[in-house]
Amino acid sequence: MAVDVRSDKVHECARRAVSGSGGEGQAKPGSRISGAFTLEGLLRCRGCGTSLQPVRMLGQRAYRGPCGCRLTAVDAEDIEHLVLKAVAAPAPSLVADATPEELGRIFRRLFVAVRVGGCAQDLSIVWRL
């Protein structure tokens, strides 16, 4: 099942979860995922389906596609934050206290793939559920 995270419903759920008004607890995206590449092996080019590879560019973490469809790398912090918000929206307690390594394992259990288009906001998640 694919979920388009650009939908208003998902953005509203993510906004509530991150702001702490979802009722259960507050997911805290941001610096907690700054060390590991939590989407390694899951992030794919929306155009051709090729897996994007984690890289460090000028001291920053990014994902880059060897396919040539993308002219620039995807900022790792941006896309990981968006994916974290998508998980925190329906289940904030699932990711609230997770370390970066745990987040990577959680993402691999939940998703088949995360497809990204021209920018980090142009993504869709293929859930295992």
Q: What is the pLDDT of residues 37-88, one digit of tens each?
A: 999 999 999 999 999 999 998 889 999 988 888 888 999 999 999 999 999 9
Q: Are 52 and 38 in contact (CB under 8 A)?
A: no
Q: Are the C-beta atoms of residues 112 and 126 closer than 8 Å to each other?
A: yes
Q: Which percentage of the chain shows pLDDT scores above 70?
A: 73
Is residue 83 within a helix (H) or strand (E), and if so which, with residue range? helix 76-88
Per domain, the residue ranges of the chain are 2-127
**Displacement of CA 128 from its chain's centroid (Å):** 15
Q: What is the average pLDDT score of the chain?
A: 77
Q: Which residues lie closer than 8 Å to 118 by C-beta, 6 or more apart?
A: 70
Residue 77 three-state SS: helix
DSSP helix/strand/coil, 108: helix
Q: What is the pTM assigned to this prediction?
A: 0.70
